[in-house]
Amino acid sequence: MITTIDKRFIAGLAYLLGLRKIGAGVVRMGPGIPELQWDSIFRYKPRYLITVPSFLLKMIDYAEKNGLDYKNSSVVGAVCIGESIKNQDFTDNILSQKIKERWDIQLFSTYASTEMSTAFTECEFQVGGHHHPELIITEILDEDENPVKEGESGELTITTLGVEALPLLRFKTGDLVKAHYEPCKCGRNTMRLSPVIGRKQQMIKYKGTTLYPPAMNDILNDFAGISCYQIVIHSSEIGLDEIIIKLSTENNDENFVNEVRDHFRAKLRVSPKIEIVDFDTLFKIVHHPNSRKPINFIDLRT
Ligand SMILES: [Zn+2]
């Protein structure tokens, strides 16, 4: 396994300790730098990577540019953190499809946060992250802080059971999820969490439609012509939410912008403002050196 473990990245430490417990060999790695990743892969032959999934695309780009035989490397799968790779019905989302089209490896999704000090991790059947009831109490609550009905989405609220220094009591994660209770084929009977539908505070109200950034990410990831993007939300003069999509493309014509806008209208019933931005400028903003994940969403609402 290769995992990042640096710059206060607490999950890296958790993965290191867990992997050692199951007897796996672990290669510690810094973030970014595809060249170092590939060098380590060819040198130490890990079978799995622990990674932000969009970084896999950067690794594939690097491998293709530099003629590395990545398809025949030792890697058979990746444990994906920080970004969703599944739709609500547990099929692969666009990001996941894009990775697998180019590099046929298994992708496992996880959901976790530093506050929880545990993770909801998929089993081999990949139908949601299994709950560990001995580590954490979960509640899924509606706007009035009542438990939602089975099958409905609500805010994941957690109480930690194993944390000593900073235990949390009914901590609201801000993440909207659904719970799945039917028994899993793997034999575990624990509740499973859906992919995150969105962040509660990132909810956008647009002309009567309610939506969350992941749905927009999906549309933008679908366009091969978009090399980089950022969604910016701000308040209009009259206090309504406005959506601006900044994107880079080599397809620099009016038709392309219209095509993207039409796709938004068809799928989400919203018509955002679209701005074409020079790739180098936008790439620097999205892949900020202080951020482990690409910054694809900025909220400027007042
Ligand atoms: Zn299972």
Q: Across residues 18-36, what is the average pLDDT?
A: 87
What local confidence, expressed as pLDDT, does residue 117 receive? 85
Spacing, Cα 34 to ligand 1 middle (Å): 32
Q: Across residues 148-154, what is the average pLDDT?
A: 95
Secondary structure of the chain as H, E, C letters: CEEECCCCCHHHHHHHHHHHHCCCCCEEECCCCHHHHHHHHHHHCCCEEEECHHHHHHHHHHHHHCCCCHHHCCCCEEEECCCCCECCCCCECHHHHHHHHHCCCEEEEEEEECCCCEEEECCCCCCCEECCCCCEEEEEECCCCCECCCCCCEEEEEEECCCCCCCCCCEEEEEEECEECCCCCCCCCCCEECCCCEEHHHCEEECCEEECHHHHHHHHHHCCCEEEEEEEEEECCCCCEEEEEEEEECCCCHHHHHHHHHHHHHHHCCCCEEEECCHHHHHHHHCCCCCCCCCCEEECCC
pTM equals 0.80
Domains and CATH numbers, the chain: 2-113 (3.40.50.980), 129-197 (2.30.38.10), 203-299 (3.30.300.30)
Spacing, Cα 25 to ligand 1 middle (Å): 25
Spacing, Cα 10 to ligand 1 middle (Å): 25
Spacing, Cα 125 to ligand 1 middle (Å): 6
What local confidence, expressed as pLDDT, does residue 222 receive? 86
Spacing, Cα 263 to ligand 1 middle (Å): 35
Q: What is the pLDDT of residues 229-241, one digit of tens each?
A: 999 999 888 778 8
As given in the structure block, the two tokens for residue 268 are 């989400």
Spacing, Cα 108 to ligand 1 middle (Å): 12
Spacing, Cα 105 to ligand 1 middle (Å): 20
Answer whether residue 115 shows pLDDT above 90.
Answer: no
